[in-house]
Structures are given as structure tokens and as C-alpha cells.
């Protein structure tokens, strides 16, 4: 099982810069880059934890 990639992209909406965190087809948009990066890091750690948990239960 390969984990989906998590991507952070700048996004211009109504003349303002926002940051979008994408994982597959799902995405969340943040006003601040730091918030987007913190969320992406937490999401990445959670996915690693879930992957390790599923491997340990086999």
C-alpha cells in the first residue's frame, strides 16, 4: 500500500494568496502558509502512523 502524496500549492483567490493542501482529490485551503505546512505535516505523520498500525496487525 503506497501512501498518497500530500502537496502544498500557492493559490490566488480574489487577488489574495492562499495555500492549498491536497491529498489525491481532497484539498483544504489556508490563509497562511505556516498553517498549511503545519496541517500537511500532521496529516503526513498521521498517515505514517496508520500505515504502521495496519502493518503491525497483519
Average pLDDT of the residues in 8-29: 96
Distance CA 31, CA 28 (A): 10
Task: Return the percentage of the chain with pLDDT > 70, whole number.
Answer: 91
pLDDT band of 56, cuts 50, 70, 90: confident
pLDDT band of 43, cuts 50, 70, 90: very high
Mean pLDDT of the residues in the chain: 92
Which residues, 6+ apart, have CB-to-CB distance to 49 below 8 Å? none
Per-residue pLDDT at 58: 57
| Per-domain residue ranges of the chain | 6-56
Amino acid at each position: 500500500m503506497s501512501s498518497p502524496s500530500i502537496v502544498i500549492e500557492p493559490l490566488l483567490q480574489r487577488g489574495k494568496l492562499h495555500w492549498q493542501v491536497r491529498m489525491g482529490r481532497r484539498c483544504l485551503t489556508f490563509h497562511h502558509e505556516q498553517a498549511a505546512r503545519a496541517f500537511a505535516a500532521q496529516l503526513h505523520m498521521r498517515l505514517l502512523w496508520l500505515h504502521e498500525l495496519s502493518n503491525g496487525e497483519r
